[in-house]
């Protein structure tokens, strides 16, 4: 039920975007058909803008899907990051504690930069520290590493990230 609540706004916005695209496309084509240079220019621009928006929406939806798959895997392994940072009575995370936790997670990533789980944890440390842009970049990095490892594992070249040293050395 919780996933349904989370996806409802996404579906609604996507449907509204589709309606907008349908309405705008007709206007853009009409402007292009005028044959006048300014009508053609505006028509092309009106068509290009929704394409750019669709690209970014699809990119974010794909990231959300990959992040959810990573979260599901970590939950299955009971390795999801725990939110144990102290908070103010208003619910805000203590900045000093968040910065200290961030430094620890960043060191873990530096020790094993090819472990997607470390990057996933770093994303949540960035989020707690208030840096959403870097949190998103870290999630993209985690997803890319996970995708690469899964494709290599499918080809039989890499052991799973949670395999012991004896399993990894056999590969």
Q: How many Cβ atoms from other residues are within 10 Å of residue 65's Cβ?
A: 11
pLDDT at position 47 is 87
Domain coordinates of the chain in residue numbers?
2-76, 95-164
pLDDT at position 3 is 57
Which candidate, 64, 164, 76, 77, places its Cα nearest to that of 123?
Answer: 64
Average pLDDT over residues 60-79: 92
In CATH, the architecture of 95-164 is Alpha Horseshoe (1.25)
Residue 140 contacts residue 63 (beta carbons within 8 Å): yes
Residue 31 contacts residue 46 (beta carbons within 8 Å): yes
Q: What is the pLDDT of residues 117-165, one digit of tens each?
A: 999 999 988 888 888 899 999 999 999 999 999 888 776 655 555 444 3
Give the three-state DSSP class for 162.
Answer: coil
Q: What is the pLDDT of residues 92-110, one digit of tens each?
A: 887 888 878 888 889 999 9
Residue 52 contacts residue 21 (beta carbons within 8 Å): no
Residue 50 is given by DSSP the state H
pTM: 0.69
Which candidate, 11, 128, 27, places its Cα nearest to that of 64?
Answer: 11
Alpha-carbon torsion (68, 125, 127, 119), positive or negative: negative
Place of tokens 């144990």: 84
Q: What is the mean pLDDT of the chain?
A: 83
Residue 128 contacts residue 101 (beta carbons within 8 Å): yes
- Whether residue 166 is predicted with pLDDT greater than 50 in this model: the reply is no
Give the three-state DSSP class for 143.
Answer: helix
Q: What is the pLDDT of residues 14-53, one digit of tens each?
A: 888 888 888 888 899 999 999 999 999 999 998 898 788 8
């Amino acid at each position: 039920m919780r996933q349904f609540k989370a996806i409802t706004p996404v579906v609604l916005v996507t449907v509204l975007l589709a309606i907008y695209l349908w309405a705008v496309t007709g206007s853009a084509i009409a402007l292009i058909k005028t044959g006048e240079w300014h009508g053609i220019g505006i028509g092309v621009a009106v068509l290009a803008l929704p394409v750019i928006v669709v690209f970014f929406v699809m990119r974010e939806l794909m990231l959300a899907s990959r992040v959810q798959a990573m979260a599901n895997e970590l939950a299955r392994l009971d390795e999801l990051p725990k939110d144990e940072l102290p908070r103010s009575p208003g619910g805000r995370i203590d900045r000093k504690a968040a910065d200290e936790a961030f430094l620890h997670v960043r060191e873990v990533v530096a020790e094993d930069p090819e472990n997607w789980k470390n990057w996933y944890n770093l994303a949540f440390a960035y989020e707690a520290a208030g840096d959403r842009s870097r949190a998103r970049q870290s999630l993209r990095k985690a997803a890319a590493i996970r995708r690469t490892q899964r494709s290599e594992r499918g080809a039989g070249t890499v052991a799973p990230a949670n395999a012991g040293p004896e399993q990894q050395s056999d590969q």
